[in-house]
Amino acid sequence: MDRFDNSPETALAWFREGRGAVLATVVETWGSAPRRVGAQLVIAGDGRIEGSVSGGCVEGAVIVEALEAIEEGEARLLEFGVTDEDAFSVGLACGGTIRVLVEPVGSVLPEPMLAELVAARARREPVAYEVNVETGHRALRRNAYADRLRMDRSGFEEDGRTFVSVHNPPLRLIVVGAVHIAQALVPMARIAGYDPIIIDPREAFASKTRFPGEKLLKDWPDEAVASIGLDARTAMVLLTHDPKLDDPALQAALNSDVFYIGALGSSRTHAKRVQRMTEAGFSAAQLQRIHGPIGLDIGAAGPAEIAVSVIAQMTAVLRGKA
């Protein structure tokens, strides 16, 4: 699922408005296909569209097929070759092949199932939509396809018939400490696909002039974290060097299933941090989740390079790399 893709929500809304709706999903690609597997286009019965399956190369043909599918009440599995000329027009060097699954809502994709999917997405609950393209069996799966969910990788299973569409919540980054490293880290995190939230009760640090356009919470970290909520699609980075600010947020993170915890400071500072957390009752296994000193060891010098090392480490942990 692409970040900020609201195709399921749009399809459900259009269907309930009586427009009719079709979800078209990229299920397989070869070569230099314009969109990744899992990308979606929503087509209403009146021809209105939202989203994309090819960056403009085959949308016209998909729309025609989708409108016919609404009338006939059937799913369609389409295959398109993208020419080198068309690929170049959308910014690619060469062409490829795309397979697109077209599913009318109601007659093929049950409205209650789509509503359940939308509700899970609203709850930030990872879920996989499974469809057998031969039998037409459809299901929502929780606590399944762990590797696909971790890698954000939709696609066919080995049987070549079962397509799995991954629906993960958007990634979030909670930064405790609106310091100079955060000024470099936050824009990099946005580029990498995270929604950043900055927590710092100190007015001089958490200011709009230092972080224009960003979400700033000026509460104490334990209160701010409680209001945000923590889940497996959230990373937490502690940057203040001040135990009064870092430790409450750290304890909340250790008691949650956030996928990454990183804390700024030297090895000596980290040893003291571990000692405080041990005295607070956390186990050795819990404390091993803390990445401190923070970031990959790339010899970083200065805030920007430290930020690069942190983003790289977050990515490695998210994708299951040692």
Are 19 and 47 in contact, with CB atoms under 8 Å apart? Answer: no
Handedness of CA 257, 260, 264, 267 (dihedral sign): positive
pLDDT at residue 54, rounded to an integer: 78
- Give the pairing of strands 234-238 and 171-176: parallel
pTM of the complete model:
0.79
- What residue spans in the chain does CATH classification 3.40.50.720 cover? 171-318
Give the Å distances, CA to CA, from 109 to 41, 101, 102, 118, 219: 15, 11, 10, 13, 44
pLDDT at residue 59, rounded to an integer: 84
pLDDT at residue 86, rounded to an integer: 55
3-state SS, one letter per residue, for 240-303: CCCHHHHHHHHHHHHCCCCCEEEECCCHHHHHHHHHHHHHCCCCHHHHCCEECCCCCCCCCCCH
> How many CB atoms are closer than 10 A to CB 1?
22
Q: What residues pair up with 28 in beta bridges, in sequence order?
A: 99
Residue with tokens 């070569």: 31
Order of strands across the sheet that contains 155-156 = 138-141, 127-132, 162-167, 155-156
From start to end of 8-110, where are the E strands?
21-31, 40-44, 49-51, 76-82, 96-104
- Residue 158: phi and psi, rounded to 5, are -60, -25
Q: Does domain 171-318 have CATH number 3.40.50.720?
A: yes
pLDDT at residue 92, rounded to an integer: 44
Give the Å distances, CA to CA, from 59 to 28, 81, 86: 16, 12, 12
Question: pLDDT tens per residue, the chain (322 residues)?
Answer: 444 578 999 999 999 999 999 999 999 987 766 678 999 999 999 999 999 887 667 888 999 999 999 999 999 999 987 665 555 454 444 457 889 999 999 999 999 999 999 999 999 999 999 999 999 999 999 989 999 998 899 999 999 999 999 999 989 999 999 999 999 999 999 999 999 999 999 999 999 999 999 999 999 999 999 999 999 999 999 999 899 999 999 999 999 999 999 999 999 999 999 999 999 999 999 999 999 999 999 999 999 999 999 999 999 999 988 7
- Give the pairing of strands 171-176 and 194-199: parallel
Please tell me the distance from the alpha carbon of residue 280 to that of residue 274, in angstroms, as a whole number: 10
Helices then strands (H, E): number in the chain?
11, 15
From start to end of 32-119, where are the E strands?
40-44, 49-51, 76-82, 96-104
Q: One-letter amino acid identity for 286?
A: Q
Are 29 and 95 in contact, with CB atoms under 8 Å apart? Answer: no
> How many CB atoms are closer than 10 A to CB 283?
10
Please tell me the distance from the alpha carbon of residue 215 to that of residue 197, in angstroms, as a whole number: 5
